[in-house]
């Protein structure tokens, strides 16, 4: 797993990148009440706003970590936003992306570096 400084996690599954938010982000947000996901099939560029998550405390944008195509979204978190609090790094993934080169993930933080970031 890799991590962004925006508190997203990235996991490679076959030739796809799965994207979600970290436990830390979930805790900081508080109870998640709404999730809006991107449309399947859209092309996104790194740092594009692709999803929205709202909690009782705040609303946040989820950014595309890399350039690619959204190939799948997790409808379960739209129907049951609380999953994001219950299992942020498991069942509550946000979307899956097809990317040109998985080596771009090498630029992101590993778990030790992310833990250092969040202190």
- Angle value at C-alpha 6, between 61 and 56, nearest 5 degrees: 50
Q: Could you tell me which residues are beta bridge partners of residue 72?
A: 96
Query: Tokens 């979307």 label which residue?
Result: 95
Tell me the pLDDT of the chain averaged across its residues: 95
Q: Which helix (H) or strand (E) holds 28?
A: helix 23-29
**What per-residue confidence (pLDDT) applies to 39?**
96
pLDDT beyond 90 at 42: yes
Q: Where are the domains of the chain?
A: 2-102
**Is the whole-model pTM more than 0.85?**
yes
Report the distance separating Cα 118 and Cα 95, nearest Å.
24
Please, are residues 17 and 99 in contact by the beta-carbon 8 Å criterion? yes
Whole-angstrom Cα distance, residue 9 to residue 90? 10
Average pLDDT over residues 94-108: 94
Q: So what's the pLDDT on residue 58? A: 87
d(CA 97, CA 51): 13
CATH of the structural domain 2-102, one choice from 2.60.40.1120, 3.50.50.60, 2.40.50.100, 1.10.3720.10: 2.40.50.100
């Amino acid at each position: 797993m890799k991590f962004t400084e925006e508190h997203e996690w990235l996991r490679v599954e076959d030739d796809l990148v799965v994207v979600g938010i970290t436990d830390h982000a979930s805790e900081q947000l508080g109870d998640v009440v709404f999730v809006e996901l991107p449309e399947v099939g859209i092309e996104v560029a790194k740092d594009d706003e692709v999803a929205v998550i709202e909690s009782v405390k705040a609303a946040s944008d989820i950014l595309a970590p890399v350039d690619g195509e959204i190939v799948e979204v997790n409808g379960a978190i739209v129907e049951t936003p609380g999953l994001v609090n219950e299992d942020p790094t498991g069942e509550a993934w946000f979307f899956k992306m097809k990317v040109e080169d998985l080596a771009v993930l090498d630029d992101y933080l590993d778990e030790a570096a992310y833990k250092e970031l969040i202190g």
